[in-house]
Amino acid sequence: MSPNNITMKVKVTRNYQITVPSKIRKKMEIELGDILDVTLDEENEKIIIKKIGKRRKTLKLGRKLTPEEIERLIESGIKDNIK
């Protein structure tokens, strides 16, 4: 293992979620809303998590949106953030 590696244990919650430890979040500059890529390396039995993007854009329109507008914006946001 490289001397630059940080290894920490985390627990899987009831909803199959994990928390990225603060030491790693700070080192990787992971912030609320950032996009992470999760890859399963079956051959080596590893889960690899990579930061791939910053937070999604937010909109302040000053008016209420219809459900259709919300869906359209979500689809547009997904296309913009996941490549």
pLDDT in tens, 13-42: 999 999 999 999 999 999 888 889 999 999
Taking all residues of the chain, what is their mean pLDDT, rounded to a whole number?
85
What's the pLDDT score for residue 23?
95
pLDDT band at residue 57, thresholds of 50, 70 and 90? low
Q: Where are the beta strands (DSSP E) in 10-76?
A: 35-41, 46-53
- Record the pTM: 0.57
Q: In this model, does residue 72 exceed pLDDT 70?
A: yes
Instruction: Check: CB of residue 38 under 8 Å from CB of residue 62.
Output: no
Q: What one-letter code names the amino acid at 12?
A: V
Radius of gyration of the chain measured on its C-alpha atoms: 17
Give per-residue burial for 59-73: e unless 16+ CB within 10 Å, then b: eeeeeeeeeeeeeee
β-bridge mates for residue 38, sequence order: 49
